[in-house]
Structure 1
């Protein structure tokens, strides 16, 4: 197995992965709507999340409108996402807090973001990296699985894995890293029956090396 931890090797791996999968398309690039969409996405398929987020945006265009929304009306709009009753209350509360405490602007710090209802570390880091272009790596199930298979982390939790990756992956590669790895995890490095024969980085992968004896 080739070295997979040097900066040059990591750059080569990231470039190969990027070329092998379709670009991830966010419904919104605005930090506020990216935040709301990411909260909606928890335990929900991408297609369902995206449709709900678009419908919500059509009804409530900005922070002020959503802050003044009736959670029951929000619930009717997002009714197909997982845990929609809980999420409808939380996203209205998020909008109210951003309006009242932060002057209508999404905060740009991990501590402030994770103080919002329903916003964990993963959601906060998605918003930082993809909404504000601040180097950070959100670890979801795809990133956790792939980084452990490759051998980039052996940490037990997503939070610890995030620290490992942020210490390893060059900062200029951290923006866009999570969505790229999500697409890679769906298309090639699948949870069950990963397509190692199609993988562009198999020669760098600990999992493949141990599986194939190479």
Structure 2
């Protein structure tokens, strides 16, 4: 059962965010022929970009937590065995989706990987294996979230998330981890607001939001 983490960024400018993430090392895989959607691959994990103006966010940029799986029914069965019993599978225009309530009352969407590309363009994505998508979860208690993520089929020893402070409202920060020399990454971004602290880059992205890259 293959499950991939895919934080979803609702953005005011899909093209600008796409170009920004490509500069970091991600590669475009699938985009909507009508525009407004593209998903991007890293060596591990993905990032989805969605036009905020046509989303339920009311045009406001922000990041939510989502996943892609090759077998939604197997994922749903595993989660039900762990007590996450409100999962619902339904059909969207782009394929099957599992909606389930995670810890802290957070609703998570898991898309089933699909070979039906009607209305979409597939690119020959060659992801850079040095890059991983490792979003940061704040306002999240680690034990129940680790249990939930394990129920998705992710290995506890290699969870592709970072945990921030457990207090406050649940939020997802777009963060990446790389084995590429961080100085080389920094040098590609000299025209952007970037702060380096030790082995970490804090970058203001085209939405004016913070993206963190860990070396």
Calculate the TM-score normalised by the size of structure 1.
Answer: 0.29
Larger C-alpha radius of gyration, 1 or 2?
Answer: 1
**Per chain length, whose mean CA-contact separation is higher, i.e. which structure has more relative contact order (CA < 8 Å, sep 6+)?**
1
Comparing both structures, which one devotes a greater share of its residues to strand?
2
Higher share in helix: 1
